[in-house]
Amino acid sequence: VPTSRRERPAKPALPRDGIVAAAVAVLRAEGLDKVTMRRLAQELDTGAASLYVYVANTDELHAAVLDELLGGVAAPREGSWDERVDTLLGSYVGVLFAHPGLARSALSARPSGEHYLALIETLLGLLAEGGVPAARAAWGVDLLLQYATATAAEHATRARNPTAGDDWDALTRAIRSADPAARPHLHAVAGAIQSGTPQARTTWGIAALLRGIAGTPVPEERP
Amino acid sequence: VPTSRRERPAKPALPRDGIVAAAVAVLRAEGLDKVTMRRLAQELDTGAASLYVYVANTDELHAAVLDELLGGVAAPREGSWDERVDTLLGSYVGVLFAHPGLARSALSARPSGEHYLALIETLLGLLAEGGVPAARAAWGVDLLLQYATATAAEHATRARNPTAGDDWDALTRAIRSADPAARPHLHAVAGAIQSGTPQARTTWGIAALLRGIAGTPVPEERP
DNA sequence: ACCTGAACACCGTTCAAGT
DNA sequence: ACCTGAACACCGTTCAAGT
């Protein structure tokens, strides 16, 4: 009796796509914590071992999920080229913020799907529009995406775990109470070092990155 | 009979310090994978629950371990200020490279111990020496350390897990086989986008970061 | 070639009960 | 105030055996 197994809506033809689709569904419904090999196997009426034919490990699975979510990130149409970079990366970070923990995986296993490629393409286009030499832009996109991903990874953990804010506070306390004689520079900027909203800091960070990328020759350029 | 328990060399007086010391020892002997609450409890002849009085969670424990390892990072004495920044961050990344996985934790829970403060102080001093305005330097150290940490997190995972290189290859393959009509910019820089040694890229990244930090006014500076 | 159950070797964190 | 055993609720990954 082949139809005796539990019925599910639309069992997909391609296992890899089916696994990723199930993973996205579980992510949306219950969060990244539940996007595990075992849980997904359960969802697909199989054993966890079966998934390893299509997915190398958990990080790779998460990368595929992220790529899927990136489908919701559209290229901005308004503003100057650098404003659009800021908006685009803001959207990217937004996706990561909405699903805490995914950013952490993304640092280890980068997505390599269509949506991630589209993001890189858009970024390269904006940098070209801004007159950034292609060789610098090529290395620059890496820097920009790494920055956006790392920012999300930091912020996401703090947002999810209520006690993780303590680490932040611990650093703040440590900086504030630093010995002015032993750490003069730290003491001098104690107020400034953690000032500003996350948004303001991220916008500044992207601006600094763009300036640096545009103005720093890559080794190949030098004679 | 109070001495009936298994003997260990030098049981430390302060539990928190004792936990961190044991964690460093286990890290050195067996790697970060074994630096778990349960394993540490075993090492200290107690139950895992007891550790939670002194350490909030596993990430915080890892952050404390990293701070300890940072004691081996000395301020460079030779070269120009920006060369010394490169050397200093290189040492920091080196510590993280030697213990894969620690960088990942560090992104979520930043260290806040003496050695991390010393690193920030040295960095601030170098930026001041380079004529970077204090307000930009204050935000800049964050950018520099985040970059160094994220770089280590990426590279470390690839180095540890033999199949993680596949993700890299997967992205490389995807970029190389990108449709030239749909992704013209990507196609144009396909060769350049992943060229260069990690060292060359990191040095370029730091140079770009420094240029951006030095040249980008923070919001407070604007009237 | 693919799929599976079962096993291996573990986790983090909480909590009631003790001292 | 601190410490503990035990419990809760899980993990990732491998592998021999099947189909």
Question: DSSP string spanning A114-176?
Answer: HHHHHHHHHHHHHHHHTT--HHHHHHHHHHHHHHHHHHHHHHHHHHH-GGGHHHHHHHHHHHH
Q: Residue A222: is it exposed, middle or buried by C-beta count within 10 angstroms (0-12/13-18/19+)?
A: exposed
CB contact under 8 A, B207 and A216: yes
Q: What gap in Å lies between CA A113 and CA A131, rounded to an integer?
A: 27
| Summary mean pLDDT of chain B | 87
Mutate to test the interface with A, among B218, B220, B221, B222 (most CBs of A within 10 A): B218
Q: What gap in Å lies between CA A198 and CA A77, rounded to an integer?
A: 24
- What is the rounded average pLDDT of the residues A68-94? 95
Count of C-beta atoms within a 10 Å radius of residue B103: 28
For B86-109, the pLDDT digits (tens) are: 999 999 999 998 887 899 889 888
- What is the rounded average pLDDT of the residues B202-222? 93
Q: Which residues contact A172 (CB under 8 A, 6 or more apart)?
A: A194
Span CA (B3) to C1' (D2), Å: 20
- Check if the beta carbon of residue B60 is closer than 8 Å to that of residue B37: no
Which amino acid, A94?
G
- Residue A216 touches partner B, C-beta closer than 8 Å: yes
pLDDT bin (cut points 50, 70, 90) of residue B146 is very high
Q: Which residues contact B136 (CB under 8 A, 6 or more apart)?
A: B127, B213, B214, B216, B217, B218
pLDDT score, position A14: 59
Q: What gap in Å lies between CA A154 and CA B212, rounded to an integer?
A: 21
The token pair that represents A206 in the structure block: 């992207």
Instruction: Residue count of chain B, please give it.
Output: 223
- Residue A219 touches partner B, C-beta closer than 8 Å: yes
Q: What is the number of alpha carbons within 13 Å of residue B5 lying toward its C-beta? A: 9
- Check if the beta carbon of residue A103 is closer than 8 Å to that of residue B164: no
Q: What gap in Å lies between CA B39 and CA B23, rounded to an integer?
A: 9
Q: What gap in Å lies between CA B77 and CA A78, rounded to an integer?
A: 48
CB contact under 8 A, B193 and A139: yes
For A41-73, the pLDDT digits (tens) are: 999 999 999 999 999 999 999 999 999 999 999
Coil, strand or helix at B91: helix
| Summary mean pLDDT of chain A | 87
- Check if the beta carbon of residue A96 is closer than 8 Å to that of residue A156: yes
Please name which of A80, A18, A87 lies closest in space to residue A46, comparing C-alpha atoms. Answer: A18
- What is the rounded average pLDDT of the residues B47-51? 92
By percentage, how much of chain B surpasses pLDDT 90?
A: 70
Q: Least CB-CB distance to B153: which of A107, A192, A216?
A: A107
pLDDT bin (cut points 50, 70, 90) of residue A157 is low
Span CA (A49) to C1' (D16), Å: 13
pLDDT score, position A170: 82
Q: What is the pTM of this model?
A: 0.90
Please name which of A153, A30, A152, A29 lies closest in space to residue A91, comparing C-alpha atoms. Answer: A152
